[in-house]
Chains A and B, each alone.
Chain A
């Protein structure tokens, strides 16, 4: 077991190193520099700036400096916001993006499952059409359009909720709604179809025959199985939502880290590019690692030593 964990850990480090190296190569091979602007400047100032951020060093040296910054987990200052360190940006932005992501997932899962069950139970009824109508809308309206519509109707016209920013629970309702609608729709459709399938199974008929209450049949027997596909897609959804909130964060002026992914590359803010990439890849790899270990603990049939003879 220990050996397996150790081995996995080493593979993890190698994976990270590969990601870091590839990012570095891609980063230096795109043309441009963080110091291009339409504002006045001159060669001396460019040179001073480049020296200040060690960008005048040859690439191998820069690469070693990056490795060093990663090993010590100190990415140095952002080039575009020189009094902020990349560590600060991550430490501030990530908890907010994470909060938004987790709340969104919770809302999407709960509302999606409820819609799916209602639709399945009232198959081909008004509720079914209504629920699936909502689901189709949810899938087909991109979240940034929904976000603007929500702000216009709920915040501007009806003045029920604040327009933007992330400063109180009331501020969170609109962005979470905008972001959760898509995943909710996917979950609702998935729940409905598997639910319909499960409800025709023999063991459900058996449960009905036994005289169990419909509530008990649905929640104790049918739902458990119907949810398996939902759980399966959760991983992808989770990764998508934790990383993909750039647009919503922008629209609602949420100070998360989504913007650093996009802006750092546009601005060639090298330390921030490195910091965000390393942070997210490490985060995802660690999650996968934990899941792999959990598999082994949960299911004894999964052997740690695949090679026989042990």
Chain B
């Protein structure tokens, strides 16, 4: 009896303790009351949904966005919401090409260095303020300020003085972005950059309402202080649970926006979000890997390019990978089609080159098709290359090879398949090793791994984004490779003003990378989305983020 009493007593204390915590929150935190509001909101919304006038799209963001500060939130879960709340000088159009956004026109100087943007007269913030050139100046300098530690800052290095400011060697005043007048923005670049307009579609280059931000530096943390200049505005944000976007009446092209509201749930379990899609609680969902075979051929499945590559890096400072032919042998011994079709599934394409499909060349073609297949599956050639390579190095027996990957089910399956292929086609016994992501990433960075898995997701829509990773001493290099010819090709591939020529440099760079075979391409990433009937017009760009501006739900 006494112990029972004791337990009850303990329980009561616990409850009181919790009640206190909860009450304190309610006093301090506005979002506690938001929770209540959102509940009624969603109930209202469900009630209104009967009314065909209101169009509400229900999406899943998976998790809470890292940050809705456009300079800080540097990942897909922040980009997707941001790209619909805000708009940069340019915006990707239906063809995924940078077109007019906040800027209605621009002039580029002869030398390709100076860009003058003319902002729309009717571009406004959701609080009614006009979007002015100063908002861009503020945002870009904020991004480059080392104090603010933006992960996206390297994108601003294309601007003159940007890198110096970010490394602490220069000052904010030296960053060559200026407001000529309220609606005219002038930017001077470090070197001609053919893809600068594409770059500007990245959320890192979105404007920040400088009047709001100067008054309240954490304006982006809550719905009631958030100011948007895109097709939608942030109506409510229950952290960790849901964001609700409403159509932004102040948006210059508000007429084109068809949806009234967008709900972003945060459901991080692939099965659960699929089940919510089945019950109609979500309008789009991803396909759980286990159900891929059943669902992938359905009518409601959207499959599109997603700028990214899965590949294996060689560490050329370790034996036997200092030898080019041995590296090539391994690359030719892998059957990518089988990996894509039977291991990764979900409709992915095998990678016979490094740059993923979806990058339009100046002549209107696709980079991937123009530069062709750079590696194939050819066991005979592989065997021959291996023999030659071993002869060159004087190996009687190949030094042991360890293939490392960060621990996930899919990475394991791919690694085991590659292990099998190398054993069947080359007779090489590869040892597999897996590590927790963070340990793995650290070891790869420090060149402690011999042969390791990697992935790359494009930050902006240009092939140079990936190719640049392999220049000498790049932070992204992680192979120990250094090649002066390649460095020069990339330098030209960034700054050549003639686009045709610039692409020629990039084709050549990619071919050189394949010839040296510093990394083995495996497969490209793709976007596979289940979409409910009646949902249309969602633009899913190959790079980065989707656009709901023209989305509709019937």
Contacts and interface: CB of A to CB of B under 8 A. Distances in A.
A37 B441 contact: yes
B484 interface: no
A252 interface: yes
A155 B6 contact: no
Interface of B is mostly: helix
Contact of B6 (A152, A163, A165, A294): A294
Contacts of A267: 438
Contacts of A39: 74-75, 151, 457, 459
Interface string A141-171: 0000000100110011001001111111000
A52 B21 CA distance: 30
Interface stretch (A3-11, A200-208, A226-234): A226-234
B221 interface: yes
Contact of B476 (A35, A40, A102): A40
Given A94-B21, A290-B13, A291-B10, A38 B454 contact: yes
Given A36-B442, A45-B154, A298 B2 contact: yes
Contacts of A287: 10, 13-14
A168 B46 CA distance: 14
B93 interface: no
Interface string B412-455: 00000000000000000000000011110111010000000011
6 contacts: A32-B442, A42-B154, A52-B148, A152-B275, A165-B267, A253-B266
Given A48-B153, A84-B221, A235-B7, 14 more contacts: A30-B438, A35-B151, A36-B441, A40-B154, A42-B474, A44-B154, A44-B167, A48-B150, A49-B149, A95-B21, A95-B22, A95-B25, A168-B39, A253-B265
Nearest to A256: B240
Given A44-B167, A92-B25, A228-B3, A155 B39 contact: no
Given A36-B442, A151-B275, A163-B276, A255 B240 contact: yes
Contact of B153 (A45, A235, A250): A45
B22 A36 contact: no
Contacts of B474: 42
Contacts of B240: 92-93, 255
A266 interface: yes
A293 B369 CA distance: 76
A234 to B, nearest CB: 6
Nearest to B163: A44
Contacts of A95: 18, 21-22, 25
Contacts of B74: 39
A193 interface: no
Interface stretch (A75-83, A114-122, A181-189): A75-83
Contacts, number: 202
A150 to B, nearest CB: 10
Contacts of A294: 6, 9-10
A98 interface: yes
Interface stretch (B49-57, B62-70, B227-235, B250-258): B62-70
Nearest to B152: A45
Nearest to A41: B475
A209 B249 CA distance: 82
Contacts of B221: 83-84
Interface residues of B, number: 82
Contacts of B25: 91-92, 95
Interface string A225-257: 001100110110010000000000011110100
Closest CB pairs A-B (n = 8)? A32-B438, A255-B240, A52-B149, A36-B441, A253-B267, A83-B221, A48-B149, A42-B475
Contacts of A74: none
A310 interface: no
A290 B265 CA distance: 40
Interface string A279-306: 0000100110011001100110000000
Contacts of A252: 272
B31 interface: yes
Contacts of A298: 2, 5-6, 9
